[in-house]
Amino acid sequence: MKVSYIVTVYNKALYLPLVVQGLATQEGDFEREFIFVDDGSTDDSAKVLRQVKETLPGRVEIIEQLNSGPAVASNKGFEASTGELIKFVDGDDMLLPWATKVLTDTMLAAGHIYAFGINPIPVDYDNTVAQNIGRIITRIRSDIDDLDPLVWDQPLDYVIRRAHNNPTSWIATRDAVIKTGGCANHIFIQDYILELCLAAQGSAGIWPGPIFVYPRTDPNRNTANKAQVLHDLNMALAEFFRRRPDRLREYGLLAAKRATGRAWKFAKRNKVSRDLRFNSFAQYLGVRAGLIRPSIELLESTTRSFRKGFVIR
């Protein structure tokens, strides 16, 4: 069995030594390959990768491209992969040593097509983090000895309600990732469409403990742009039903409630036009009153609240 680690990178030179350390210390007896896609970084990310790649126990490929966004980078990394199992990793997330093994065991033992870890640990990436990471790992390991895997029988319901929205959290079979249709190039933040399309394929395993650490603050992290995140969550819902129209009847109302709720709350809390506030509130009430039917067009229209006056890629 081979695991393909696909790491998308944009201006992550500060974090890459620990990211690579996490990859190099993954526990378990399996073949592995490491694919890094540098999405046009303007710092020394590519240089750092070339310096540390020899520490990785497997084939390493570094792909450099003009800045095209994480969705394009993720798709390119997947195209270059050959493993039966796919493990995406964000370029500032450090996998804990047990991550791959516990996720793989959770997934394969019960025949799931993917498995999640939860409760990632935030850390401060200061001058002491490299010296302290061993102590942090030891402390976390002592807290996970008695954890048992859980099951999501209907993960799609949960994923629509509460997006995990981080590919570092999960591992999946290659076939399952192929069936998702890949990342949507027109949606900047790539994570949620993959999560939705995986959840639509069947049950998921959950390992109820942390599998990675991430920087507590990072201005280059996509989640720093709240408007972009919410815009892309709603765009991903629309794209999901475009790919899986068979799920609109069962899950469309739930998705419409989530999308209109995000749009209205954002419009209410931010400086958007009066017309946008009125329209988002009308959609919010109309869906809940049964006056507006869920549709792909409705989901896409909710993204207007996030675009006016905000930078959306």
Residues 73 and 202 in one domain: yes
In a domain, 312, yes or no: no
Domain count, the chain: 2
Residue 300 structural domain: 226-307
Tell me, what's the pLDDT at 144? 86
Q: Calculate the CA 44 to chain-centre distance.
A: 24
Contact 214, 90 (CB under 8 A): yes
* pTM to 2 decimal places: 0.93
In a domain, 313, yes or no: no
Residues 213 and 230 in one domain: no
d(C-alpha 144, C-alpha 299), whole Å:
40
**Closest by CA position to 187, among listed 295, 70, 40, 280:** 70
Residues 252 and 129 in one domain: no
Residues 171 and 240 in one domain: no
Mean pLDDT calculated for residue range 15-34: 97
Confidence class for position 107, pLDDT limits 50, 70, 90: very high
Residues 118 and 262 in one domain: no
Contact 45, 11 (CB under 8 A): yes
> Which of 219, 243, 271 is the endpoint of a domain?
219
Tell me, what's the pLDDT at 174? 98
In a domain, 272, yes or no: yes
Answer whether residue 222 shows pLDDT above 80. Answer: no
> Which of 170, 190, 219 is the endpoint of a domain?
219
Output the domain CATH number for residue 105. 3.90.550.10
Token pair for residue 183? 């990342």
Answer whether residue 10 shows pLDDT above 70. Answer: yes
d(C-alpha 242, C-alpha 240), whole Å:
5
> Which of 175, 200, 219 is the endpoint of a domain?
219
Q: What is the mean pLDDT of the chain?
A: 93
Tell me, what's the pLDDT at 37? 98
